[in-house]
Every structure is written in structure tokens, then in C-alpha cells.
Amino acid sequence: MKNYRIAVVGATGLVGSKMIEVLGEVNFPVGELIPCASERSVGKKVTFGGREWTVISLADGVAARPDIAIFSAGAGVSKEWAPRFAEVGCRVVDNSSQWRMDPTKKLVVPEINGDVLTADDMIIANPNCSTIQMVLALAPLHERYKIKRVVVSTYQSVTGSGMKGIHQMLRERGDKSAQDLPDAYPHQIDRNVLPHIDVFLDNGYTKEEMKMTNETVKIFGDESIKVTATTVRVPVTGGHSEAVNVEFEKDYDLDDVKAIFADGKAPGCILCDDPANNVYPMPLDAFGRNEVFVGRLRRDFSAPKCLNMWVVADNLRIGAATNAVHIAQYLIRNILK
């Protein structure tokens, strides 16, 4: 198999370092790793493939002409630098919100809609973390029963706010080793719950809530699907949880729904549903895993053709790094081969 020159932009950040880790775990055919970051991180070392690689600037990263660049450095960086990488023939997989709703860019979860990618796609958007785990759980159900409406409430880890979120919570817990970074939240997060992720918009929803709404429709390519979300930050380190209520056009049999997840018909998902023995998905169990865990499957007795489910995943992995690497894998198997 051909080896590829792979850049990771934001290589020293939480998600960027996880991207490098996942590249190694999946034995991605990396001939050369090109770790890129801001000027303050240039010269630092990252470990991959049993050796150290020196972090370089984004300008030097462009000059290195990688085959694929995986970005996790924020929307502003992506807006400026993704086109520069693309101009030198590099495929960009971007984890920021910059390109997700751009009608000229594909928003991809490979297990669901990887086939939308073509040789013309130079910048590819990686969906929001909370969206990815939800649509992976919903996709086989949508195929079987057709989704009409989704109501979702999330319980999202502080890792979704990067190092700022982690260290704010640690400081509030009295950890003197926590870095003195600016607070990620307007209120205390330890022993608290904040119904506030990202900025509030004029419609009263947060940007995170509208991401879930709009991205789900775009990924499924179905404007008829209605989604409403409430996104909540909780004092958990690693792993997002979601309470999902879904209404279908067709009625379903609950045993058949469970069989979909138990029999491997839901790629990337694992059934974890035995409440009689206290078995259900939890962030602690999902931490460090690349799968989406689905449980608490039960019929909504208050409305016809409605299902309740509980969906948990490691937001830094399948919610970000792993999906981005899966896109890169799809590219080398189907586009760059």
C-alpha cells in the first residue's frame, strides 16, 4: 500500500493529539507525519510511529505539500489555511465549524454518506461531536423506518471545551496543578450543569443546538427531518451523552430495533441495554473507545411511532478525531488510490 504524507494541524491540542494517536491505532499508511501548530508550539515534539516529529508552522506545512491535512485548530485557522493547503493539491479534513454548512463543501460521516465524496472535493467538513454520535445511532433506524422528528438533550463533557474546560473544573475542585488558563464557562462547572454550549443566537437557541439541527439534515440529505436540541455542559471528563426521542414515519418493533444494534447492522455502534442488570451506556465505559454505545431503548408511550434511546460516545474520538481519520481512510481507499 502506498504511504502518504499526513499533516495534522493543531497537533499539540486535545483533539489534534488524539488524531495522531488514532492514526497510529488504525495503522494508517503514514510515510511522513507533518505536525503543524501555532507559532508558540513550533519546535515542540510529538511522538508517532516510534519516533519524534518536530512541530512546524502552518506555512511550512503548506510548503511540505502533504497528501492529506487533518485540521483541528478552530474555525479562524481553517478559514485562512484550509484553502492554502488545498491550493497545493492537499485534501483537507476540517474538524472546525467553518465549512460544515457551506453548500460547496461535503459534511461527512463515512459510514453514512462517504459516497458523496468525489475527486473534486479538496476541503471536507467533519461534523460536530454531538452530531456524529447521534447520526451514527440514527442512520440504520432512518433507513428502516424513516425519521420524521428528533428531540435531543445532550450532557456534554468539559473536554468539549478543550484544555480551558478541563482546567476550569480542576481548579474549582481545588487541584493546584491545574493550569491558570482563562475560564471556559461564565459560571462554575464543578457540581453544576450549564444549559449553555457555544453562543446564544437570536432565536434563543445556542449555536451548538443549531449545529445539531442543521448538520443532521445535511448529513442525511433529507430536508423533511425536523430536529430540536437542548445542549448541556456537565462536570464530566471525557464522553458526551444524549437522550434522544425519535419519531418515525413507519411503526417499529422494539425487538427489531434492538436487533439492528445487536447484529452489527449499525456500523460503529454497540448495544448496551440490559437495565435489569444495570447495564446501560455511560461516559466512563465509552472513554477511550471509538464506538457509539446505545441503550435504554424503549417505546415512547406518549406518542405513536416514537422511540426513546440513550447514546454515549467519547467526544474526542468518534466525535472528532476518529471520524476525521475515517474520512482520511475513505479518501485513500476510494479517491487517492
The residues that are catalytic are: 129, 240
Q: What sign does the CA torsion over 208, 181, 21, 30 have?
A: positive
Short-list 129, 186, 181, 127, CA closest to 155:
129
- State phi, psi for 126 to the nearest 5 degrees: -95, 130
CA proximity to 88, closest of 62, 70, 69:
62
Instruction: Give the whole-angstrom CA distance, residue 300 versus residue 79.
Output: 43
Alpha-carbon gap, residue 237 to 286, rounded angstroms: 11
- ∠ CA 8-286-175, rounded to 5°: 80
Question: DSSP string covering 283-333, please?
Answer: HHHHTT--SEEEEEEEE-TTSTTEEEEEEEE-TTIIIIIHHHHHHHHHHHH
The residue type at 22: V
**Distance between CA atoms of residues 299 and 263, nearest Å:** 20
CA–CA dist 41, 39 (Å, integer): 5
The whole-angstrom separation of Cα 181 and Cα 36 is 22
CA distance 253 to 82: 46
